[in-house]
Amino acid sequence: MTAVWVTIGALTLTTAAIKAAGPLALGGRSLPGPVMGVISLLAPALLAALVVTQTFADGKSLELDARAAGVAAAAVAIALRAPLAVTIVVAAVATAALRAVT
């Protein structure tokens, strides 16, 4: 067995343990309202953090390149209420165009 498969197995078991810990700790009770409010905001915040780090971070420094232009173009398309498919195409075209120019 390689180290990759050991890592995958460990991550699988850890994920299952984390998912099981919530219901076991609560014992069938519901969470308070403020806690549910925080939990409902975690997914968008984590997604935004992932987009930012994957777009602008390059190791230990920030980098503005064609990816940033694609995200900016997608933000404009979203602000104009474009459909998802159009937003993706706009972002891809903006990124490709800037990469072709530079």
| Distance separating alpha carbons of residues 43 and 51, to the nearest angstrom | 12
| Distance separating alpha carbons of residues 99 and 37, to the nearest angstrom | 41
- For the full predicted model, state whether its pTM sits above 0.85: no
> For residue range 84-101, what is the model confidence (pLDDT) as tens digits?
999 999 999 999 999 999
| Distance separating alpha carbons of residues 55 and 66, to the nearest angstrom | 9
| Distance separating alpha carbons of residues 53 and 74, to the nearest angstrom | 16
> For residue range 29-61, what is the model confidence (pLDDT) as tens digits?
888 889 889 989 999 999 999 988 888 887 788
